[in-house]
Each structure stands twice: as structure tokens, then as C-alpha cells.
Structure 1
Amino acid sequence: MRGMASHEDGTLYIVSTPIGNLGDFTYRAVETLRAVKLIAAEDTRRSRILLDHYQIATPLSSFNSYNQIKKAPQFLKALQAGEDVALISDAGTPGISDPLFYLVGQALEAGIHVVSIPGPSSVMAALTVSGLPIDRFSFAGFLPRKKRRKATIESLSQLPGAVVLFESPNRLEKTLAELLDAFGDRPAVIARELTKLHEEILRGSLQELVEAHRGKKWKGEITLVLAGTGRSGKRPAEEPQGDEE
């Protein structure tokens, strides 16, 4: 049974931060980070750049996949003492390929109030500029390096909705070839360095993307979007207009 919240407990705020362009920070996010007593940050050095830009002097404490079990009790203690705490990741919406869920789960078990401060997300940014049908989609994060990699790709290739992946620039060429082999030559998008100075959106079929960029030295953060099974990404034909009754 989950713990009962106390009116004296603090609130855990899940705050989204820019994925590149610092201007994408919301007023609510800035106000929240200024108001809380402590910020749990995935990488305090990277987060300090953002906070300094917005003149946010709130203390930072690291919280990542390496120290989450050790550090979570410290944040829970602060929350139970009535202090508000914010959780941020290196960039974007916390919980996307980072240890957010662990602290949130611990907080909910203790009856702590959890509030989302929404904002930037590379997943949503890539989907909205892809030009592909996105009424349904699946996010798979980074593919497994070795174990179950082929099986995972095969499984994703059968999904009816768009598929979103993260990939390292060093593995992108190999991954595109593997996706082509499993998905077939369907529409896809490479979204690189979203919202940053060198943002690049490359659209085409998987075959076109593989051939056009063979041997390319990729740099930056990359998000892939692939059309679902049987979904070309073309605009639907206009429906015939019947006679008015």
C-alpha cells in the first residue's frame, strides 16, 4: 500500500529542460527551479550551464543511474521534511532513457505529491517534423547492443504505428542497414541535433538514406523515426463529397 501524503511533505517536481536551444525553457519551469529547495540533476555540470543562464541559484545534487539507489533516500528525506525538490535530466523530458522512474516510484510509495512541469522532448520534436503518420507511435529508446538486438528490430518492424529510436552517431550507419533489412524500404527520418545550431532533418526511404549517407561521419544527438507497417507517409486522397441531403 502506498504511503499517505502529509500536508507537511514537500512536492517532487519533474521539470523538462531544453534539448538544445536554451530559449525553449518555459516560464513555469524557470519559476519552479528557482522556488524549490533542491534540484536533482542527471549531470550537475551540464545543468549548471542552463541554471546560470537563467540566474537560478538553487543547489544541485547529482542523481543518475550510477547513484540512484544511494541518493534516492536523501531526496525522500528532504521531501518528507517539507522541502520541495525538482528532478531534471541532461536535456528534455525526464524519464526518457534516464533513471526518473526510480525516484518517482519511491516518492509515490512514500505518499509524496509528484507534479510534472512539461516541456521539450526530442521524441515529440522528431515526430512532429517527420511528415509521417504519428497518430500512433512506439518509442524504443536505444536498441540493444548485442543480446536480442535482431529480435528487437524484427519485433519493431511489425508495429502499425511509427517507431522512434535514439542512436549513437558511431553506430548509425550499421543500424540503418539493419533496419532496412528488417523493415524493408519504408519511409524514415533522421533528426540530428534537434533545436541546435546544426539541426538537420533528413527524410527519405530507408534505402535512400543508407545509400546517400554511406561512409558519412555522423556527429551529435540523433533520433530516428520510421513509418509503421503499411503506412507510406503520403497524404490520404481527398474523400469524395456526396450530394447534400
Structure 2
Amino acid sequence: MLIAQSETMSKTEVELRQELAAAYRLAAMLGWEDTLYTHFSMRLPGDGEPRFLINPFGYMFDEICASDLIVVDMNGQVIEGNADYNPAGFTIHSAVHMAREDAHCVIHTHTLSGMAVAACENGLLNLNQISTEFHKRVGYHAYEGVAFNLEERERIQASLGQNIALILRNHGLLSVGETVADAFQIMYYLNKACEIQLAAGQMASLSPISTIPDHLADYVSSQFKKVEHERHLVWKAWLRKLDRMDASYKD
């Protein structure tokens, strides 16, 4: 049964809920989940103080439906929904939504490969074509402990800047996008770049690692920018795949 539009819920909000719920289900399928932790959020349109959708604390990614998502304001008040949220997730996601009006969707993960690269002093290296999409487009944020301190929001905002992604050192990965499609695809390839780096590091004892020179990485990064519209085609393909497997995320 699909989530129904109500007097208080617009057609746009229903669609955003379904897309964000789909992102959670796909993340579970890809092995990105960390039990109840890490979060994806989506800013809701409208005038006034920003509000965003986020997962209710206590749900695994593979059981989240559109109707389960709660609405939170920038002060941490639950506006819609009958559940609470993870305070650390609120700190990180509200920080981005407060500072970047273009970052409607925010995705944060704790994958093995992402955390491994986040622990590397040199961060993400230009080891492969996939990595070059993030050349000069990823920020770094120093670890400050579990993000319970709201004062950290300003520092997260400064670390992200105008980048499409953020590596939270000794912690994990974060991507931002104008749509769920953008943020999801950015995270997919950021995580893939980290997987490549982790695999290359495991082979370093057998053969020296070759990196792509900065001037060439600049060029390839500019090529990627010209085809960013293709993210929406890939997202539609992801949704078709998910619908074939289990369309209950729309409920």
C-alpha cells in the first residue's frame, strides 16, 4: 500500500519520502548500513525555517518505509512522526542543511572502505578514474568524538565548504546533492573510490601504487562534471531494480 497524500503532506513530500526510503533500502542492499547508525536526510521545500526528513532511530535500513521517516527542524524538534532521532546524526545533518541550501540531500555512511580511507593521513588518492571525480571536490573534517556537541556544526560546515563530499577523519563518508539521485550516486562512487584504494593498499607489497598526476586528475574531473545529469538516469535504473525486488519502501 503506497503512502497516501494527506492534507498536511504535499505530493512533493510524498515523492521525496519515497525516494529517501528507496535510498535506505538500496544502501542496505549494498552493505552500507551500520545497524541503527548513520543517516540519510532530505530537506523539505517551503518557506520559513528549514525542515528535513530523517530516519527514526531504531530502524534498520532494510525496513524503512516512506511513512516511517520523521520531520525535524533545525532546533531538533520533531515536527512530524512518532519517533526520535539519533542526536549525533542530527548534529551532522542539520549542520549541512543549515549552511548549504543546494544540499537538499545528505548521505552519511560508516562503510569499511570509507572508514579505512578516513583513517589515512593522505586521505583519498587519485588511484583510478573513479577517484578523479572527487579531485579538489572533497573536504576533510577532523575527528572530535561522537557528534553530540552542536557547536561542532560550524566546523563541519567550514570543512565541507562548497564540496560535493566530506571525509570525516577517523569516522566515515558524507555526500551532498540537490536531489536524492545526486547524493546517492556521489556516495556510490566515493565509496567505490575508497574500495579501490583499500584494495590497492593490500597489493602495495607486490607492486608500487601508481597515482594519476594532478593535471590529468583536473582534466578528468572536469569531464565528470559535464555528465552529472546522467546521475538521474542511473537513479531511475536503481529504482527499477528495487521495485523488482521489493517495492514496500513506498508505503
Q: TM-score, normalised by structure 2?
A: 0.28
Structure (1 or 2) with the greater strand fraction: 1
Structure showing greater radius of gyration is: 1
Q: TM-score, normalised by structure 1?
A: 0.29
